[in-house]
Structure 1
Amino acid sequence: MQYDFSRARRIVIKIGSATLVDRRTGLRRGWLASLAEDIVALRARGTQVVIVSSGAVALGSPHLGPEFNRARLADSQAAAAVGQIKLAHAYQETMLRHDITVAQILLTLDDTEVRRRYLNARDTIEALVHLGALPVINENDTVATHELRYGDNDRLAARVAQMISADCLVILSDVDGLYSADPGLDPAATLFRHIPRITPEIEEMAGDTKADGVGRGGMVTKMAAARIAVPSGCHVLIVNGGPDHPIGRYRDTGIGTWFEAHEAPLTVRKQWIAGTLRPTSVLTVDSGAQEALRQGKSLLAAGVSDIRGTFERGDTVTVQDAEGRDLARGLVAYSSDEARRIMGRRSDAIEDVLGYKGRGPLIHRDHLVLLQETRP
């Protein structure tokens, strides 16, 4: 079973540094030209395409002399500043042959975590797609710090796909997809071509984050991307981006891993909550509260046994069980100080503790999203 591109109205294609840039010869211009032909074919069928592309640091670093050290944040940001111009020009030059206008968008983590900035970014992308342009998105490495960055474009691509209600996210990898084991170490490893549901067992097969080469991602970050995109109704494909025409190759051979989005998409607001990558704090809940959440109920203060971190009303927090497993994310209705005073108490006791009636549940069900593994 493989994904049918003909059903897609809108696709996000994520391109990694290792796919786009050869460490010896630089930009893979022939490969990029072949991908452009794949994109032209998709657009000819009425499918809108958005690209999320790495490669700025890899393209810029060879031009900064022998003292360049990628491990230094300032040097990496300098390389991004140099390489971003080259990256944008490469896409512009390639797509211009097909009379397609390219638009560059640089995002930081806050552009998708802060609600107002999220909406502004979404509206810009929507306008560009509506006007027939091809948005090419990258993380704004020149200003992002270690604390305020995605660090990989897999999750950024998933957040963009979620943001614009894409039907499919295609992640171009350096392998054919998700295997049962590392195929380089285990010749008996098998490729998963279709994953109808992401389970803890599937996640464990992703292994450790890859640290070598010019890319920063690995199968772990691709799995994290699937965890963001799939609940929003977006299918995820991991395919080998090395050969020419990677989209056409998948269509012809079916070689790749398809994470199926078989559930109804969450509302736009709940998509944003679920995709938050930097929750403020953690609320630990007891078994009774955990069962209530599974039944679609709100989180009451009585079911909270521990609170870690500091937050204000309206911040996004993670809800965990006693073993530290993530259960849900939601917008909290109280500050951390208020929450600590009322946790473990019944709702009818809140007024006596706080001196005012309060706002009902700690997290209302309308502002709470169960994470994938908590669903029956």
Structure 2
Amino acid sequence: MSPSFPLLGARRIVVKIGSSLVTDEGRGVDAVAIADWCRQLSALAEDGIEALIVSSGAIAEGMKRLGWRTRPKEVHALQAAAAVGQMGLAQIYETSLRALGRASAQVLLTHADLSDRERYLNARSTLLTLLAHRVLPVINENDTVVNDEIKFGDNDTLGALVTNLIEADCLVILTDQRGLYNADPRKNPTAELITHAQAGDPELARMAGGAGSSLGRGGMLTKVLAAERAAGSGASTVIAYGREPNVLVRLARGEAIGSALHAAVPKLAARKRWMADHLQLKGRVVVDAGAARALLGGGCSLLPVGVREVAGDFHRGDVIAILDTAGIELARGLANYAAAEARLLMGRASQDIEGLIGYVAEPELIHRDNLVLLQTEMAAP
């Protein structure tokens, strides 16, 4: 991807849309605007770009439907508004995408889903499966049942977490501002738009001080922090005005719109560094020569049939080492099964998994997307 235009060449993106945009400043779900964003995402899909939407607006839409003019402070009232508003929000997205011949799915997540190792893998597998079937996931926080996210959370952060979860190339945050300014443009008419900067630069947080609208919980500061979080996995972030005509299509063509906050480390390098530097290895597996050659050949997952030994007490989602029979560490990856299950599965074909442990999480012990090579060739015998 071009360092100047983060979306140019991107194959997978996360688009976060703020409450004020989705609900037309609180007047209710803006079906026309949502239909237009869906049209743009459908056009990107035709060009081979996978997209996920992180959509705010459930609480704001619920407030409108319930006739509430100000955002309540009581958690139970916020949860009630989210429950009511989520119905209308999901309906509009589904209707808009179906009219374009696109399938959609509603996915409700909490931060806990992305911090627990097993739930993290489950969420990742679900979202990647939806994308593989050309389904456009519409993601929101599960505000109806979780207290923390309503009180302190924001969908900018969720957008960054989802970006990291699925290894997206870019996070696009659509907002009611043109981008990030060096001062508050609502108070300072001489404020200048920041067109390019490096995500994580401490100066950006100073520029972004101040709260957002009364409808949402995130201001520009949460967007800057989200960009820093997304950069941890090598993804750059664009903050742009959501009502800019054809904004997503134009960004994908390389047009400079809004503020581009660039990741310092490319996506692949960031993931490799995280895996390679993971010091808290929970276990290891020893693989036979055939499995070792397949792994080092590139692009292959580790199947149970190639495993000869399992050591340690790891759980699903833990980082484990992959060794050859000479004891050389070939790779590291996220385990799809716990150590006790892996011991039952080692040396067996993938079609035997359900009969051996009663269920199938994945056909692989470690999927290629969750595996990083530490060696590039076989050791001499």
2:9 counterpart residue number: 7
Letter in 2 for 1:112: L
Aligned match for 2:138, one of 136, 139, 150 = 136
Q: Secondary structure at the match of 1:93?
A: helix
Q: TM-score, normalised by structure 2?
A: 0.66
1:226 counterpart residue number: 227
Q: Is 1:242 matched up with 2:243?
A: yes
Are residues 52 and 159 of structure 1, via their aligned partners in 2, closer, same or farther at CA, if it must alter by over 3 Å?
A: same
Q: Deviations over 1:329-368 (max 9, x none)?
A: xxxxxxxxxxxxxxxxxxxxxxxxxxxxxxxxxxxxxxxx
Q: Is 1:172 matched up with 2:174?
A: yes
Q: Is 1:267 matched up with 2:268?
A: no
Contact 2:20/2:26 (<8 A) preserved: no
Superposed counterparts of 1:319-334, under 5 Å: none
Q: Secondary structure at the match of 1:27?
A: coil
Contact 1:108/1:148 (<8 A) preserved: no
Q: For 2:6 and 2:35, how far apart are their aligned partners in 1?
A: 23
Q: Deviations over 1:251-285 (max 9, x none)?
A: 585231111124133337948x99xxxxxxxxxxx
Letter in 2 for 1:162: N
- Aligned-residue offset at 1:186: 1.7
Q: Deviations over 1:58-117 (max 9, x none)?
A: 111223356996211101101111111111110000001111000010011210111111
Letter in 1 for 2:218: G
Q: Secondary structure at the match of 1:217?
A: coil
Q: For 2:126 and 2:42, how far apart are their aligned partners in 1?
A: 22
Letter in 2 for 1:214: L
Q: Deviations over 1:230-262 (max 9, x none)?
A: 121111000001344331354585231111124
Are residues 24 and 148 of structure 1, via their aligned partners in 2, closer, same or farther at CA, if it must alter by over 3 Å?
A: closer
Aligned match for 2:95, one of 93, 96, 99 = 93
Superposed counterparts of 1:290-301, under 5 Å: none
Letter in 2 for 1:229: A
Q: For 2:191 and 2:264, how far apart are their aligned partners in 1?
A: 26
Are residues 18 and 90 of structure 1, via their aligned partners in 2, closer, same or farther at CA, if it must alter by over 3 Å?
A: same
Q: Deviations over 1:112-139 (max 9, x none)?
A: 1111111111111010001110000000
- Stretches of structure 2 that go unaligned for 5 or more consecutive residues are 279-381
Q: Deviations over 1:2-52 (max 9, x none)?
A: 415340110000011111102464221221121112101211110001110
- The count of aligned residue pairs is 272
2:192 counterpart residue number: 190
Contact 1:108/1:150 (<8 A) preserved: no
Superposed counterparts of 1:1-376, under 5 Å: 2-3=4-5, 5-23=7-25, 25-65=27-67, 70-146=72-148, 151-210=153-212, 212-248=213-249, 250=251, 254-265=256-267, 266-267=270-271, 270=274
Q: Secondary structure at the match of 1:11?
A: strand
Q: For 2:71 and 2:150, how far apart are their aligned partners in 1?
A: 21
Q: Deviations over 1:120-171 (max 9, x none)?
A: 1111101000111000000000011137876210000000000000001000
Q: For 2:72 and 2:40, how far apart are their aligned partners in 1?
A: 33
Letter in 1 for 2:271: T
Letter in 1 for 2:222: T
Q: For 1:234 and 1:62, how far apart are their aligned partners in 2?
A: 35
Q: Secondary structure at the match of 1:137?
A: strand
- Stretches of structure 1 that go unaligned for 5 or more consecutive residues are 275-376
**What's the % identity of the aligned pairs?**
42
Q: Secondary structure at the match of 1:208?
A: coil
Q: For 2:273 and 2:50, how far apart are their aligned partners in 1?
A: 23
Letter in 2 for 1:159: L
Q: Secondary structure at the match of 1:7?
A: coil
Are residues 69 and 178 of structure 1, via their aligned partners in 2, closer, same or farther at CA, if it must alter by over 3 Å?
A: closer
Letter in 2 for 1:241: G
